[in-house]
Amino acid sequence: MKKFKIIEHTADVGIEAYGRNLNELFANAAYGMFSIITNLDKIGEKKIVKIEISQSTLEDLIHSWLDELLFKESVDEILFRKFDVQISLNNFKQKFKLVGKAFGEKFDSKKHHLKTEIKAVTYHQLKIEEIPKRKAGSIYKTRVIFDV
């Protein structure tokens, strides 16, 4: 199964990401976003950034996750290439919780080439779907549009 595909959108760019579960879906969405920003093959895994977020919907959770990673990229100048995500539901609070780690390194103009600057993660057409498969289980799919 592929991790993501880039989708064209009027004046913006987006991705459709896929996963066998929500953890993989969120990791692949982040991977897709950073593949738009730079060539991931050139990024090392020298820095680990831990992110914890709670939201009431999965759409709000993925938006916050990607937005936080984009914030780290623009403010701390860290490019990421690998993501480890654990999502759980707190039934008492009716909130989804994400505990994630992003692996990457500080931007180095001699080593890294920035392809496209992403200004923001948008809510436009943002959705997460569970798609049943004929054989075992299902896959998850999300669509995210970025303001460039």
User: Is 12 annotated as belonging to a binding site?
Assistant: yes
User: Is 147 annotated as belonging to a binding site?
Assistant: yes
Name which of 35, 30, 106 is nearest 61 in CA terms: 30
User: Is 148 annotated as belonging to a binding site?
Assistant: yes
Rounded to an integer, what distance in angstroms lies between the CA atom of residue 109 and that of residue 112?
5
Q: Which two tokens stand for residue 79?
A: 């490019």
SS3 state of residue 28: helix
Rounded to an integer, what distance in angstroms lies between the CA atom of residue 73 and that of residue 76?
6
Binding-site residues sit at: 12, 147-148
Binding-site residues for Ca(2+) sit at: 12, 147-148
